[in-house]
Structure 1
Amino acid sequence: MSVLNIGTRALQANQIALQTAGNNIANVNTPGYSRQSVVLTAVAGQFSGGGYVGKGVDVQTIQRNFSTFLTRQATLASATQNADLARSNKLNQLQDIFSGGSTGLGAAVSDMMNAFSDVASAPTDLTARTVALTRVDETAGRFRTASQALDDLQTGVQQELSQKADAINTLARNIADVNEEIARAQGSGQPPNDLLDRRDQLVRELNQYVQTTSIPADDGTVGIFLAGSQPLVLGTTVSPVSIVSDEFGDPLKSKLAITRDGQQILLDENALGGGEVSGLLRFQNNDLAEGRNLLGRLTLAITMEMNAQHKLGLDLDGNAGGDLFTTIDLNTTANIRAPEAPAKVNSNPLVQITMTVTDTTQLAASDYTINFNSATSGTITRLSDGKVTNFTQTLPSTTLATVDGITFDMPSAALATPQVPTVGDRFLIKPFSTSASNVARVFSTPRQLAVASPIAGAMGTTNKGSLQQVSLTALSNNQTATPHAPVKLTFTSATTYTRSDELPTPDTTVYTFDPNTAITAVDPLANWSLKLTGTPKAGDTFTVVDIKDPAYKLDLKLNGGNATAMMNLRDKAMFDGAAMTDGYASAISQIGIRTQSASYAATVSSSIAANLEKDRSAVSGVNLDEEAAKLIQFQQAYQASAKMIQIAQNIFDTLIQGLGR
């Protein structure tokens, strides 16, 4: 009977081995499946006078070929890869919005500026004026189109984030369910391999969306943590996540929040690690925000400069020019939060921050935060690079500080009963986020295009030197009913002159003439800046006159001085030192650098993830050639075991026959 028992045990063991190999082959393409191996152990032998006699084989367990270290490394690498790919893909979409070529925003700005060249050459040509206004309208339209494209991209990212948060919650619930099944199966004394594989696969899928940390418990369950320490799954308990606004309530920025014990906790995106949610949050809160600020700064600076210059001119009817583009209002108050009550929107709703642009050439494409250390002092932080500016308000002045060409004011400080912030209050300031949303051309009548300068220069008719006018630029435009007195420069030598506008005694002070230095005047009609060149003779004159002064018989309709000044704005250094017409190229460059960097990071992380997955698969994956060899091996062992049983049967039959005689 011992031979029969040994054969039966061997038959059963090899049958299980065949079944396990077949199961491996069947699951060769199953995601998350770990190769299984039968662990055989010899049955303790029976003592006899001639020694211990073996009693066969037993199946000790079905072993799961699995490396905790390699699986964790592959999962982390996959999370990083998914974060980099998600951000890179969205940056490519952002780069498409900031496109170049003839259909890009940069071309529209250049065409608009160049259109004023034709108007300067022919100020009375209504066709040239109409073309210039059309270019203005096209530029405004492209500003709005780009802004709408950013809004659409924002909406798409927000929807993706919400969907991925739902996916995280679904996977977390599934992990909790599998945790429960595994805890129940622990009582059998054998590992539930398929359940363990299923849970590990769910964890890998979860890390596609957000990087997690897994900590095993004594009951066989696994705790899943986000951002280092926040429990998403503890045993069979799930703390759901959601996408919410940031601590300022900014609708254009999001945070991943986890709800635990009824309390919502905002997670720091920098602590999230990898995963698509992390990549999308980084894109939305940083890259897309910078794109908005770059577009907004470009829109604000160009429209303000064009409006300011247009107001310095006169239209065909002699009226002072107005705005060319709609005015962009920066006086938007951001939310203020009290640190002792983070959920409270406003500690004092009457405390407000307003903004005024004082220098368009200094604007930085950034948001700002204002932190009050006291009722009248604090810091202004530029969020793009973290630069901090300290301020101390001197009451009753409303000004806090001027940073990057923007003056920040707190007008509530000038109230009869001043409203003051409390210590720790914070403001989020977004000067440019909506600048391009509603910009448009103000008027469509070509006669209203103010291309004439309110002032003109007149050389003396008896001049004998080589004096020539290089430029005469109006710096203000205050039209009056009667012509203003001219300002006459009389040269006393090649290097000196007197002025008729000197007060209280005109024509007595002698000024030095330098062709490289502009001559300026504060004039009730129009402050101006004049540049002359050449070598004047004593007695030569140059007069700055009101263009509408009939004494000089000047036709303002033929004057294109302001059109020339508007055209010359294209070379004004504005955007981090770049000219106005190069501002868009600078924005493209900054977005392009981010896109290229993100693409490189995605390529590197994908390569690392692929290599680590290959290492993991080398341990846990199924090799069909190896399993086929095992099938032959176990088949032969099975057949041999069956032969052993047959032999035992023959021995038993022979014994029975012998006893029957």
Structure 2
Amino acid sequence: MSLLNVGARALLANQAALQTAGHNIANVSTPGYSRQTVVLQTVQGQFTGGGYIGKGVDVQTIQRNHSELLTRQSTAASAVDAGDTVRMDRLRQLQEVFSGGTSGIGASINDMMNALSDVVSAPTDLTARSVALTRMDETAARMRDASQRLDEIGYTVAEQLKGSMLTVNSLAKNIAGVNEQIARAKGNGQPANDLLDQRDQLIRELNQHIQTSQVAADDGSVSVFVAGSQPLVLGSKAAELSIGDPADFGAGSGQKVLYFQQPGSATKVELNESMLGGGQVAGLLRFQNNDLAEGRNLLGRMAVAISESMNSQNKLGLTLNGQPGENLFAPINLGNAVAGTSNTSGATMGLQVADPTKLQASSYEIAFTGATTGSVTRHSDNKVFVFATMADLQTIMANDGLALTDGGPPPLTPFPGAAASDKFLVNPLVGAAALLQSLQYSPTDLAAANPVNAAMGTANGGTLQLASLKATGEPAGLVLPPNANPAALPPIAGGIQLQFNAGPPTTYDVLNRGTNPPTTVATAQPYTAGQPINFNGWQITLKGAPKSGDTVTVGNATDPQYSDWYKRDTGNASALMALRDVPMFDNATLADGFASAMAQVGTRTQSAQFAAELSSSIAANLERDRTAVSGVNLDEEAARLIQYQQAYQASAKMIQIAQNIFDTLIQGLGR
């Protein structure tokens, strides 16, 4: 009987080994499956006077070939890889918006500015004027199109985040359910290998969306935590995650955050984005809140700068009809700052462009510690500026090209202040590109002419020469020189005259010839050759040395004494064209501004690509190490099948021999 028992145990043990090898082969392509191995143990022998006689073999357990350390490292690395990869993919889409070539925004801006050169060459050519206005319309259209494409990318990201939330919450519930099954199965004293594999695979899938950490419990369950310490799964209970607007500024911030809600609780906890680690959700939030926001700010800054600078300059010139120029583009309303949801003062903060050349592609958070004190945080570089008075605050914002108003109807007044602990989010450029719209379509409405002209005195004896004359509108707007009135008695000559005294030092007096006799406006003003002279919103630059009594008269271009000369003048068209060389975008000129934006987005994309390649390599190496321990090798399993088959056949032979011996023994006893 002992021999029969030994053979039966061996037969069952080898049958279990064959079944386990077959199970491994069947699951060779199953995601997350860990190779299983039969662990055999010797049955304690029976003591006799001649020593211990063996009683065969038993199956101790089915061992799961698994390394907890490698599994966790591989899971964490794959989470980082997923976050870096999805961000890189979205940045590539963003880079396509900021692409070069003839169809890009940069080409349209250059074409717009270069078209003005034909107007300078032929100011009465209506075709040249029409082409310039058409180029402006094309630039506005491409800006709007680019803004729409950014909105589409943002919509796609939002939908992907919603899908990730559904998947995350479903996976969390599944993990909680498997936890419960494992805890029940642990009572039988043997590990539930397939359930453990299933849970590990669910955790790996969860980490593709959001990085987690795990803590094992004594009952065999695993607690899953997100953002460092928030329990997404505790035993058989799962919490929920959701995407929403930040609590401090709400939907007006344009940002998205991740919320955590414990089971049975109505309170949602806003999770810190910097604590999320890897996973697609973290990568998408980083893209949404940083990369896409910067792209919108870069595009919006260009739109606002083009609109403000070209509108201001065109309004300083004269049209073919002799009328002051009007806006070339629809003025872009920057709107109001977003008030914090916990503000107590009810104050409204309006935004205006103070200087388009100083605008930063950034948003700002203004936090008040008192009615007129607080700090400004610039989000693009996280620099903090402290202000002690409202004048300090206005200066800080003016340095970045903005002015703060009370946000009420005209006439606008400076922002008066707020209550302590009030906060405001200044985000003026995000949607600006979508508002860029060309207004002028008639070629006669392009204000190409200078509104003022200059003439040297016919009796001048010095070497004075006109270097430049232009309208600036600074500091308080343009005031044109008075027209002549030959019908008056005595006749009024008109214009503003500069009358020089050779000195030393060389000086000039300013005379208003709109009255008779002329009125002296200023006397003994110092003259330096090549130094601009500013007066009433226009600027004249002279070269050479005057003699006493030399004069220069600046006249109104529409004065009848100058006939229709303004139709052939191109002073303002030249000033419009000169805007392309004005530093506007972090020291980049208007012509090079889009190239600068391309470089910024391209640098982000390249950095994200490097990060994705590195994280992918690390994740692949760790997964290879994990599968080296847990993966199924078909050649090895085939060899084991042969080994266990032979052992099974030998065990069966043992039973057969035992049976023959037993039959012989019975027959012998029967005689």
Alpha-carbon distance in structure 2 between the residues aligned to 1:457 and 1:283: 55
1:612 aligned residue (610, 622, 630): 622
Q: What is the TM-score when the length of structure 2 is the normalising length?
A: 0.92
> What's the offset of the Cα at 1:146?
0.8
Alpha-carbon distance in structure 1 between the residues aligned to 2:576 and 2:255: 37
Alignment map for 1:405-554 (pairs within 5 Å): 405-410=401-406, 421-463=418-460, 466-476=463-473, 477-478=478-479, 482=483, 484-490=494-500, 492=502, 496-501=506-511, 505=520, 509=524, 511-515=526-530, 517-521=531-535, 523=536, 527-534=537-544, 540-553=550-563
1:270 aligned residue (267, 274, 279): 274
Alignment map for 1:26-41 (pairs within 5 Å): 26-41=26-41
Contact 2:581 2:591 in 1 (8 A): yes
Alignment map for 1:50-61 (pairs within 5 Å): 50-61=50-61
SS of 1:501's partner is strand
Structure 2 residue 285 is matched with structure 1 residue 281: yes
Counterpart residue number, 1:211: 211
Alpha-carbon distance in structure 1 between the residues aligned to 2:507 and 2:564: 25
CA deviations 1:372-420 (Å, max 9, x no partner) are 101221111101111112223359x9999534121224468x999x996
Alpha-carbon distance in structure 2 between the residues aligned to 1:488 and 1:415: 37
2:583 aligned residue (549, 562, 573): 573
Contact 1:112 1:136 in 2 (8 A): yes
Contact 2:449 2:572 in 1 (8 A): yes
Identity of aligned residues (%): 54
Alignment map for 1:214-233 (pairs within 5 Å): 214-233=214-233
Answer with 19-28 or 537-546: which moved more. 537-546
Q: Which runs of 5+ in 1 are unaligned?
A: 339-345
Cα gap change, 1:24 to 1:264, in 2 (>3 Å) = same
> What's the offset of the Cα at 1:631?
1.2
> What's the offset of the Cα at 1:540?
4.6
Answer with 594-603 or 367-376: which moved more. 367-376
What amino acid is aligned across from residue 274 of structure 2 in structure 1? N
Contact 2:390 2:417 in 1 (8 A): no
What amino acid is aligned across from residue 639 of structure 1 in structure 2? Q
What amino acid is aligned across from residue 71 of structure 1 in structure 2? T
1:392 aligned residue (368, 388, 394): 388
> What's the offset of the Cα at 1:554?
5.2
CA deviations 1:518-560 (Å, max 9, x no partner) are 1222x3xxx2212233455665543221112223445211111
Contact 2:452 2:471 in 1 (8 A): yes
Alignment map for 1:37-186 (pairs within 5 Å): 37-186=37-186
SS of 1:284's partner is helix
Alpha-carbon distance in structure 2 between the residues aligned to 1:485 and 1:419: 42
Counterpart residue number, 1:320: 324
1:563 aligned residue (566, 573, 580): 573
Contact 2:481 2:554 in 1 (8 A): no
> What's the offset of the Cα at 1:216?
1.2
> What's the offset of the Cα at 1:368?
0.5
> What's the offset of the Cα at 1:499?
3.1
CA deviations 1:570-589 (Å, max 9, x no partner) are 00111111111111111111
Contact 2:351 2:407 in 1 (8 A): no
2:364 aligned residue (339, 360, 368): 368
Alpha-carbon distance in structure 2 between the residues aligned to 1:280 and 1:87: 6
Alpha-carbon distance in structure 1 between the residues aligned to 2:324 and 2:182: 82
Alignment map for 1:281-320 (pairs within 5 Å): 281-320=285-324
Answer with 260-269 or 541-550: which moved more. 541-550
SS of 1:337's partner is coil
Counterpart residue number, 1:597: 607
CA deviations 1:414-435 (Å, max 9, x no partner) are 999x996432221111010111
Counterpart residue number, 1:250: 251
Contact 1:40 1:57 in 2 (8 A): yes
Contact 2:452 2:480 in 1 (8 A): no
SS of 2:157's partner is helix
Contact 2:385 2:396 in 1 (8 A): no
Structure 2 residue 19 is matched with structure 1 residue 10: no
CA deviations 1:89-142 (Å, max 9, x no partner) are 000000000111111111111111111111122221111111111011111111
Q: Which runs of 5+ in 2 are unaligned?
A: 485-493, 513-517
Alpha-carbon distance in structure 2 between the residues aligned to 1:465 and 1:403: 43
1:329 aligned residue (321, 333, 338): 333
Contact 2:470 2:540 in 1 (8 A): yes
Alpha-carbon distance in structure 2 between the residues aligned to 1:51 and 1:103: 94
